[in-house]
Amino acid sequence: MTLILTHAPTEETSEVAKEEFYSSLEKVCDAFPNSDVTRVLRDFNAEVGKVSYLYPACGGHSLHNETNDNGKWMINFALERDLAVTGTLYHHKDIHEVTWRSPENKICNQIDHTLVNRSPCTNVCDLRSKWGAGIQSDHFIVRAKIRLEVKRSEKTKESEINVWDIGKLKTKQ
């Protein structure tokens, strides 16, 4: 499994900076084998709307009705990499979909997302935010319940024969 933590530019950032961020994120994703289960997570500063044309990458359970510019960037990235935005797949009360709250407590958004490969997307059982974790941040912890299948590797005779000779450590050479 590969975990990639991100912090995307804010909505007010220039298009050039957003393009640089997503091109560097693509390079990071390309550095890992395709066989890995990839999870790209954290702060995308992206609001995803509840519109049907987004359903190839998103579900219909978003906190927002409209998609902002960062949301469009994130969704395009997800579609190009065959990823799903899992936070929008599960229906919860609004309080469990909020991932960021303004310091004055007036604005609540769902801007932290988890992107996973679409093929093992069924391995994500649930995803929701947790309030009151005491982490001294305006972001909330996002908890994902995932199910992984760990494949057992067969031991080879070569690895069984490999024995360390500790006696050699006592010599100066």
In tens, the pLDDT along 96-129 reads: 888 888 888 788 898 888 888 877 556 777 887 8
pLDDT of residue 28: 92
pLDDT of residue 133: 67
89 has pLDDT over 80: yes
pLDDT of residue 120: 54
pLDDT of residue 53: 76
pTM over 0.95: no
pLDDT of residue 52: 76
157 has pLDDT over 70: no
Cβ atoms of 48 and 54 within 8 Å: the answer is: yes
3-class SS of residue 108: strand
CATH architecture of 2-170: 4-Layer Sandwich (3.60)
159 has pLDDT over 60: no
Q: Is 144 exposed, middle or buried (0-12, 13-18, 19+ CB in 10 A)?
A: middle
164 has pLDDT over 80: no
pLDDT of residue 128: 79
The string of pLDDT tens digits covering residues 39-76 is 888 889 898 988 877 777 888 888 888 999 999 999 99
Residues in the chain: 173
Q: Is 18 exposed, middle or buried (0-12, 13-18, 19+ CB in 10 A)?
A: buried
**Two tokens, residue 60:** 């219909």
Q: Is 160 exposed, middle or buried (0-12, 13-18, 19+ CB in 10 A)?
A: exposed
The string of pLDDT tens digits covering residues 1-40 is 788 998 999 999 999 999 999 999 999 999 988 777 778 8
Q: Which is more confident, 103 or 155?
A: 103
pLDDT of residue 27: 93
Q: Spell out the domain ranges in the chain.
A: 2-170
Phi/psi of residue 151, each to 5°?
-85, 135
- Sign of the Cα torsion 130, 135, 139, 142 reads negative
